[in-house]
Structure 1
């Protein structure tokens, strides 16, 4: 065992790791065409692809159940309480730091996890001031901003199990997607105001947006811009020593 792993020097059997990436997902209904663990599959598979391009990046086991109470009207939703998820994340992040890795990137796959990730990360940062924590809280929003505006046909590709999310699923794990069941509803939501909905108020089929417009080609474009975004960020931060106020810390987009 001592030959396989030296915690102090981070000299693991298969490589030297000084950074870690944590995928955080969920288990909940994604219409009838996507798998229940869709959010975990997307974030974890992206994390693995990112680690293939970044030296010293350790892929942690994903968090497979998040905060999903607001999707609970649809089967088969599993959910942690928000307070529970905060504690789970704090324990995972703290364990990583105690194992000698003090640069952590969180790749989130689910809207309900955003607030718990923020609270847990801030708490761990206070416990371990030397730790560096960064996150991509909403890849589905980031991808839409990074791609040309004409990439998607409906609702800018947004939606739970909608055009964008279904497209990236088709590119990453098409064997788990059954497009003959794809349908969605585009809800009427006001701009610039955040409605605290439960999902059954927005749709009767478990999906919003229009998944019928999804293609693997669109998903591949999303995959590329997201991977490039995070890979460039991690490399840039490595180059500047993760010093946020450094003149060398200009981040590429």
Structure 2
């Protein structure tokens, strides 16, 4: 059930019967040269489309398409709200829903940069007798199948977008190698904010374009992504959410 599709009397009736809402959130940001900027928004939307086919009685609010993308803003098309503004935006949405009767908030997140702001709101809700369940889909599926584990714009996310619409992936750009820029000859780039020195990982925050010209980072090269992989993975996540909703509904606050 989508909030944007119902009238206010129907919304009023819903909140008299249920205190749960689903909040999808993503981002508009670079995902390599081969992937659409809306990757992190499209994937939660697709997962919830699959969820609604099995369970259409939980209210889903309109997807928040923007996120905190502090390290990716130099890539054209990326829209960065920053963690502080994202916190204020989501907090206002949550507080409005809370006024209407929502107390359990299931957040389906598509972007790692959003986690900091979302967890902050979750702690505030907990102090108010409410609860937030934060599902970061790309991490959740790693535990379902370790072979799905991926980085940013790599095989995992590419497979998901292929399952949504293969035409959104520019396959002419997929074969490009990942070339990461080391800090020095001995301090080697290993991830978004990480480097390795003497086999020890430490953090050196850098803008993503200072790490890679391509824009994707990870060990899961997108050339291995398949539509079948994405279809199975997204369905598995949807099935998990359906099961989780049933248990979350039973939680006493």
TM-score band w.r.t. shorter chain: 0.7 to 0.9
Q: Separation in 2 of the partners of 1:174 and 1:225?
A: 19
* 1:170 shift after superposition: 0.5
Deviates more, 1:88-97 or 1:189-198: 189-198
Q: Separation in 1 of the partners of 2:241 and 2:7?
A: 32
Alignment length, in residue pairs?
229
Say which structure is richer in helix: 2
* 1:120 shift after superposition: 1.8
C-alpha contact (below 8 Å) 1:34/1:161 kept by paired residues: yes
Q: Separation in 2 of the partners of 1:195 and 1:106?
A: 29
Identify the residue that residue 248 of structure 1 maps to in structure 2: none
Q: Separation in 2 of the partners of 1:160 and 1:103?
A: 29
Residue 56 of structure 1 aligns to a residue in which SS? coil
Identify the residue that residue 244 of structure 2 maps to in structure 1: 233
Identify the residue that residue 200 of structure 1 maps to in structure 2: 209
Of 159, 165, 168 in structure 2, the residue corresponding to residue 167 of structure 1 is: 159
Distance verdict in 2 for CA 1:175–1:59, change over 3 Å: farther
Of 211, 220, 225 in structure 1, the residue corresponding to residue 222 of structure 2 is: 211
* 1:165 shift after superposition: 0.4
* 1:186 shift after superposition: 7.0
Tell me the TM-score normalised to structure 1 length: 0.80
Q: CA RMSD in A?
A: 2.6
Trace 1:82-231 onto structure 2 (pairs within 5 A): 82-126=83-127, 128-129=128-129, 131-137=130-136, 139-147=137-145, 149=146, 151=147, 157-182=149-174, 183-185=176-178, 188-189=189-190, 190=196, 196-209=205-218, 210-231=221-242
- Superposed CA deviations along residues 224-252 of structure 1, whole A, max 9, x for unmatched, are 221122111111222xx2138xxxxxxxx
- Superposed CA deviations along residues 177-221 of structure 1, whole A, max 9, x for unmatched, are 222222452755257755534322432111123111111111112
* 1:125 shift after superposition: 3.4
Residue 133 of structure 1 aligns to a residue in which SS? strand
Tell me the TM-score normalised to structure 2 length: 0.80
* 1:82 shift after superposition: 1.1
C-alpha contact (below 8 Å) 1:54/1:231 kept by paired residues: yes
Residue 85 of structure 2 aligns to a residue in which SS? helix
Q: Which runs of 5+ in 1 are unaligned?
A: 245-253
Matched, 1:50 2:83: no
Q: Separation in 2 of the partners of 1:3 and 1:88?
A: 23
**Greater RCO structure (CA 8 Å; 6+ sep):** 2
